Amino acid sequence: MTTEVLPPLPLVNELTAPFWEGASKGQLVIQHCNSCGHFQHAPEPVCSACLSFDLGSAAVSGKGTVYTFCIPTQAFHPWFEDRLPFVLAVVELDDQPGLKMITNVIDVNPDDVKVGDRVEVTFQPLAEGFVLPVFRPVAQ
């Protein structure tokens, strides 16, 4: 008997819905304050910059820089067992200083990734219709 191993999938909520809906349309969508224009990720019920509760979301450029990364070589979830090694990264987005997200960098030999590399968003199907925004090196 074999059971299909699914990736970790989101239990979408009010705050995360724009991110996942955006990804399914090929857009990187980040929470955005309607009052002061501050982006924040991960999303929260209140804007940490101005304390407004009037929060929306907006598509961002999808361009950024590798702030840091590591190369997991041990799976902590069965989905990743035959996907090792991969690049787990924090990417700082161009759209606001310090706006960062946890992500993967794909389409690259993991050992060739460097802090400071320029990257751009791309989209990877997960399962059950979910799409994951990930990054790839910007062509030099």
Contact between 85 and other proteins by CB under 8 A: the answer reads yes
Residue 29 Cβ vs other proteins, minimum distance, rounded to whole Å: 12
CA dist 134 and 105 (Å) reads: 6
Binding-site size, other proteins (CB under 8 A): 49
| Cβ proximity of 131 and 124 under 8 Å | yes
One of 14, 98, 139, 140 touching other proteins (CB under 8 A): 98
Count of all residues that appear for the chain in the document: 140
Instruction: Please compute Rg for the chain using Cα positions.
Output: 16
| Residue nearer to other proteins on the CB measure, 59 or 88 | 88
Residue 50 Cβ vs other proteins, minimum distance, rounded to whole Å: 14
Q: What is the number of other CB atoms lying within 10 angstroms of the CB of residue 135?
A: 28
Residue 34 Cβ vs other proteins, minimum distance, rounded to whole Å: 21
Contact between 69 and other proteins by CB under 8 A: the answer reads yes
Q: Locate tokens 């980040």: which residue?
A: 30
Q: In 3D, which of 58, 51, 50, 55 has the Cα closest to residue 14?
A: 55
Chain positions contacting other proteins, by CB under 8 A: 5-13, 15-16, 19, 41-43, 48, 67-74, 76-80, 83, 85-86, 88-90, 98, 100-104, 110, 114-116, 126, 130, 132, 134
